[in-house]
Structure 1
Amino acid sequence: MFRTPLNELCRNAGGRMVPFAGWEMAVQFEGVIAEHKAVRSSCGVFDISHMGLLKLKGLGAKDKLQGLVPSDLHRIGPGEAIYSVLLNEGGGILDDLIIYDRGQIAGIDELFVVINAACVAADTAWLEQHLSPQGIEISDQKTTGVLLALQGPEAAAKLQQLCGEDLSGLPRFGHREIEINGSKVFTARTGYTGEDGFELLLSREVGCWLWGQLLADGVAPCGLGARDSLRLEAAMHLYGSDMDANTSPLEASLGWLVHLEMPLDFIGREVLEKQTAQGVSRRLVGLQLQGRNIARHGYSVHHNGELVGEITSGSWAPSLELPIALAYVPPALAKLGTQLSVDIRGRQEAAQVVKRPFYRAN
């Protein structure tokens, strides 16, 4: 079981530790709902040091990575980032990732790629298989460092106080290096909560210092529980639950990531072209349950008494004070307003297909 550099500090802050993707991580501190509401109303900080951060370096790094993702990487330039997915030959999603264009460092093209903790070994092997023969060097950029996510409407103000830099000009999905406590820190305006915020790569020493400074400044330490409820309200996918290697981005309602108009080939393109022409057999939708019972992963979805799908993620939505879920259903039932039901412990609970995201920050 791996432990992040912040493990002891999380314990000292009251974190309840649980196993997650081979790591010991805090699932909560004060409590999931309290942490969730802190991020929505002010600011919270997450230890996300279990995530993978790879550096891709070499001539034409972006052009060569283009062959592995369906999104047009030339839509971004240095200092910008894009959310996308790695695909297999069948158009299935191997992982979702954020790709950061670092431009040229010492004359060599460089990208950062953030990947899911459970997929680090498989993703690294996949990238090495396809990119290393093309001269792209792939390395662990995080090593023994710390990854922090500072999220919420007060995140920029809190970070500016500590770095002394004006961050107002850093756009959503923009990134740059800032100085914190005398060290250069890779900082991106990205997150997994539906709020404004930043994700930061720091050395072990500076990461531990910043964690302490933020908590002393009243920022709420937040765990995996609040991270999950926040991302679900924002209808952000969880790899392994809402999508996997047998799910295409078109099925997962991630068609906006697929840029078939670009005249470039990528793994899985032929399958996605066929699905675009012929349609898919299922689609991920958002559900709002009519009662107060929560639809959990794996619960069955029904229409007029017939089994039609399955819940992939479900939770109580603290910001909305009602239960929400994501589920796969046939395309004919994916229309907004469609009335369905979910089998919860033997009872059929009414549910309705609703617009995603369930929650949108002001």
Structure 2
Amino acid sequence: MPPADDIVYLDHLASTPLDRAVLEAMLPWLSATGAGNPHSGHRAGWRAADAVEAARAEVAALVGARPGEVVFTSGATEANNLALLGAVPEGWPVVVSAVEHPSVLEMLPELARRGHRTAVLPVDRDGRVDSADLAARLEAGPAFVSVMAANNEVGTIQPLDELAALCRACGALFHTDAVQALSTLKLDMRGQGIDLLSLSGHKLYGPQGIGALVLRDGLALRPAILGGGQQEGRRAGTLPVALCVGLGAACRLARQRRDGDAARLRLLRERLFGALSARLPGLRRNSPADGLPGCLNVTLPGLDAADLLLDLPDLALSTGSACAGGRGGPSHVLLAMGRTAEEAHGSLRFGLGRGTTEAEIDRAAERVAAAATSS
């Protein structure tokens, strides 16, 4: 296995490297001078609490919310679970898209067990939900709707404005898993009518182990963790000050950099696709051209992508979602988009990020093409 500094890292959709500025913001809270429980009633605790609240304000600013609407969690999986198990009104149906993250889709059996009717919205060949399908589902009355802002495997950006407007018109609640979107796309919960939003630090060049559920003022939330009453009783447990500070710093950087990062990554993505297409004429693109700037998912017909990766130890790539990587079956996202199981097994996901260079793009294209043609 090559040393880490010899690996071209193209798996930013699974986890982004910690930005140095984020690390520097966290370091004081990882040292002895940063000791203090933010829920304690003394000077060290008050200082820690102030840092947490400043971070809460940065998270809120990134998504167009108020600081008091932010509930810190251990990550987006917990945030999605908390939204679906804690914010769905009693007896309401739950509607999700077919391309959601497993932390949403795998909640459906539990919701059904609790008496909620559930439905899954189909997607087109680009992985996009049709607003008319949602409108038809909502004709029977309000529901809790969850559709991700941008897909984690193919980068499809969903029409959030249309979907949220449909929900608002009939009194439904709209939740979005915004994990993949926030580093390069602008979301405005209040302006777009989004009721609940999930995010995660390690998809924003922040630390792993921290995320948030942001929910509109006035929404009831049944806590999944009890035992202390922290965060106004919405999620118990001592808050990790350094991680909260890191998430706040990452959100501040995302606001400052997202437009520039998006433009640069879009160019790099097209450079990569062009280089791969020139070397592999049968290559098929699964990611829409108007999708996430840093995401490129392609199918190499006749090849098994997992086997191909074994010949590319110097490249950090993926065959799909890291959270579904241990299942071994074909991508549920690609199947929902109408791809065959064979096509799904032959698909690679490239996740470009803030530190990706043109030289790395060119090297990756050359290495993948060489491995594919020799297989």
- So what's the TM-score if we normalise by structure 1? 0.31
Length-normalised TM-score, structure 2: 0.30
* Larger RCO (CA under 8 A, 6+ residues apart): 2
> Which of the two has greater helix per residue?
2
More strand by percentage: 1
